[in-house]
Amino acid sequence: MIIAGIYTAIGPTIVFIAPTSNKNAILLAAEHIILGMIGWGHQHPALEDFNWFSLLTIFDSLGLALNVFFYKYLIQFSPLDSRSKELQLQNERLRLEAIETQMHIAQRVQDSLSPALKVLHWNDAEVHFYHEQQDILGGDWMGARILPSGELVLVVADVTGKGIAAAMVAQAINTLWAEAKAASFFAAEDWLRSVNRTLYDMGEKVPHTATVGLAVVGRDQLTYYSCGHTPIFIGQAQRTQNVRYRPVIAPGQVLGLSGDISFNPRRINFAPGAPTPSILLGSDGVFARGSRTSSKKISAILNGIEHERLAPEAPSEAEDDRLLIWVRPASQAGLGTLSA
């Protein structure tokens, strides 16, 4: 009898929520009444003066009525709800397509404003540039120029963050570089200070920072300024015809964090009359381990350039943009060619 009572109580709920059509609801209600009749029987003492059949009929009729009502409600409003969802999905697709279109337009604008980097011929070496961009808009930037004095200037900047904000900061650095190129005289520390001041002023509400590595290369000396950037690598030829790369580290703070900044450049002297060494200045997307990058790994990276792909030093850096400036002496002409 206890089981029969529980069945009677939950029966209307089953009738209400289970069927998917009015026909099924009617059949389930009839089945419930029949099983309830068998379960209660005629011996239950508490229902001697009460028609149990009326009790089942009331409960099941209520469940059936609710089912029919809500079924009609669903039939009436489901098409409207489905249509509304379709319109929402369509609007979302159109919004995403518009954003993607604007991103591609911004990419074309960024590419058109970026410096046209081609192979530079400097002394007895060639300067090659490689840029492998992972996103539509990148926050990495590089530049190079030959001064009237004959010195070679190399710059690589890695802006903090990604997307449109990082691209805007990179473009601000490019604008300052273009302004400096118009002058015949170039002072590395003055230019870095102007970049730092610009990023600091731009970050009044939201900080805008970047790491910058700048090298001034002469016949007999290299001066490297690092503003939180990865080291620059200088290759030294060995008797085995292999090249051993050693990092040149210069301490310095990230640009944009403070209005005042100081520099601690590192100067490396070359042997007088010696040929130009191999020089590599890149982003952390290439040299993820920084000064711990081995000569074997660097040689593998340069050899991979022959296949027109700059493999990252570490798989964890696969999503970062990869920039590399390679001052390649004539003695390493067989190590591959970088596309501009």
Residue ranges of the domains in the chain? Answer: 2-86, 116-335
CA–CA distance, 216 with 11 (Å, rounded to integer): 86
CA–CA distance, 23 with 254 (Å, rounded to integer): 73
CA–CA distance, 252 with 192 (Å, rounded to integer): 11
**What is the band of 271 on the pLDDT scale with cuts at 50, 70, 90?**
confident
DSSP state, residue 255: B
pLDDT at 241 over 80: no
Sign of the CA dihedral with 17 first, then 21, 27, and 33 last: positive
Instruction: Please check whether residue 228 is in contact with residue 211, taking contact to mean a CB–CB distance below 8 angstroms.
Output: yes
Q: How far, in Å, are 1, 11, 37, 81, 210 from residue 30 at the CA level?
A: 20, 11, 11, 32, 76
**What is the band of 184 on the pLDDT scale with cuts at 50, 70, 90?**
confident
Compare 245 and 12 and report the one with higher pLDDT: 245
CA–CA distance, 277 with 237 (Å, rounded to integer): 8
Q: What is the pLDDT of residue 64?
A: 61
Q: What is the pLDDT of residue 177?
A: 92
Which amino acid, one-letter code, is at 98? A
pLDDT at 104 over 50: yes
Estimate the crossing angle of helix 22-40 against helix 52-113, to 10 degrees: 140
pTM: 0.65
**For the stretch 271-285, what's the b/e string if a residue is b when 16 or more beta carbons lie within 10 angstroms of its beta carbon?**
eeeeebbbbbbbbbb
Q: What is the pLDDT of residue 329?
A: 85
Instruction: Please check whether residue 44 is in contact with residue 52, taking contact to mean a CB–CB distance below 8 angstroms.
Output: yes
Angle CA 60–64–66, to nearest 5: 120
List pLDDT tens digits, range 276-333. Answer: 888 999 888 788 777 778 778 887 888 777 555 555 444 444 466 788 899 988 766 5
pLDDT at 84 over 80: no
Q: For domain 116-335, which CATH number applies: 3.40.50.1260, 3.40.1190.20, 3.60.40.10, 3.50.40.10?
A: 3.60.40.10
